[in-house]
Structure formats: C-alpha cells, structure tokens
Amino acid sequence: MMDWRSAFEAIFRWVHIVAGIVWIGHLYFFNFVNGPFAATLDADARRKVVPQLMPRALYWFRWGAAWTWVTGVLLLLLVFWLPDPVFASGASIVMILVTFLAFLLYDTLFKMDFAKDLGAGAAVGLVFVIVIVAGGYIAWAGFGYRAYVIHTGALFGTIMAANVWMRIWPLQKKIITAVRDGTTPDPAWAPLAGARSRHNTYLSVPLVWMMINAHTTVPYASSPIYLFLAIVVGWAGVYLLYQNTPRVKGF
C-alpha cells in the first residue's frame, strides 16, 4: 500500500526546491545585475524599460516566494510536527509561533535608525537569532539538531517571504507606476524596498546551508555554534559579492 505521507513529502519537496530556485534566482538578479544596470539608464530609457521588465520579473519573484514558503510549511507539518510528539508540547507550539511571527519584531527593529549601519544591523540580527535558537528552540522547547536548524531556516524564509509580499512588492508597484506615468516616486520608497531586498539576499545564503544541513547530524550536531558560524560566514560571503558587483561592467 502506498505511503501517502512519503508521496506528498516528495512532491512538496520537489515544488519547494523548484520554487526556491525561481525566487532566489530573481532575488540575485535584482541585487547583482538589475540594480547596477538600472543605474546606467537615463529617464527616457527607464520609462521604457522599467514598466515592461519589472512587473514580469516581480511576478515570478513574488510567486516563487509564495510557493517556496507554502511548501516549506507543508514539509514541516509532514516531517516534523505530525510524526514527532515533541512538537505537541506547549513550549514547542510557542516556538513554532515565534518562528512565524518573528517578522513583526524584525520589521519593527529594522525600521530604526541603527539598522542603516550594516555592522549594527548584523550584530542585532545575530543576537536575535542566538536568543531564539539557543534560548527558545534548544533550551526551552528541546528541539533536536535537525529540528532547530530547519526551524531557523523557516524563520529566515518567513522573514524573506513577508518582505517580498508586504514591503518589496507594494513599494515596487508604486515605483513602477510612477516611472510609467512620468511622475516622481516618493524618495522613501526605493531605499526601503532596496534595504529589504538586501536583507533577503543576506538571509538567503545561510538559509541554503540550513536546508542542506537539516538532513545530516555529523559533524555539526554537537553544538549550535556551527549554525551561528554558518550564518556569519554566509553574511560575509554576501558582503563580498556586493563589493564585487560594481566591478562587473557591460560591454
């Protein structure tokens, strides 16, 4: 008899990966290719290119994010929440809620002035993650290695998807409309949308590490320090990519 849970898990995992490629591929296009390219356009070229290019790219970008997030939650349900009784405890339920509601705290914190400084924002973000992982997932809820790694990934992914649908896409619609109509966009729109897009880029690289290493317990299971180190290394790697981006020129 067919194991329906395993069958659905395989389908959801397949869609999750394909949708993630669509989403993150467009994220990197916006940050490492389109941003520098758009800066070279004059007003007439922007008015012609932006209303045609950006709605198309943002369509695949936002729906890739949506399907990645939805299938990720379904995988958590099938792989962790349903079969493992540890997730029925009160502490586990609270930490699952924290995973999906942490965006509200992030959104509040990163509207503050300190977040304009990259180093300060990274330091606050790292403390934010350490408290949730070490204090919440591990010490209080008793999550094992695979569980706390993938729930940290779900936390990152939820922040990223919420940024797409609640911050980046609404602001980009306004910017595209203003460019099309030849009016001046509000000067606050582009910096906020750009900042959230950069945050998503920084979050994406550690998130890939979490997705991969949730499937193993050696050698990283001995301490959450490895997870925190992967986050820092991932952020450093993204920083270097941004530093290299201006050096890549067109013909």
How is the chain split into domains, by residue range? 4-247
Question: Averaged in consecutive runs of 10 residues, what is the pLDDT profile of the chain (251 residues)?
Answer: 84 98 98 95 94 98 98 97 95 98 97 93 97 97 95 98 98 97 94 97 97 77 90 98 95 88
Instruction: Please report the pLDDT score of residue 226 as a whole number.
Output: 92
Place of tokens 């490492």: 32
Instruction: Please report the pLDDT score of residue 217 as a whole number.
Output: 67
Place of tokens 């010490």: 139
pTM for the full model? Answer: 0.96
* 16-44 tens-digit pLDDT: 999 999 999 999 999 999 999 999 999 99
Instruction: Please report the pLDDT score of residue 215 as a whole number.
Output: 77
Contact 190, 35 (CB under 8 A): no
Instruction: Please report the pLDDT score of residue 72 as a whole number.
Output: 98
Instruction: Please report the pLDDT score of residue 221 as a whole number.
Output: 76
- Kindly provide the b/e burial profile for residues 136-145, where b requires at least 16 CB atoms within 10 angstroms of the residue's own CB: bbbeebebeb
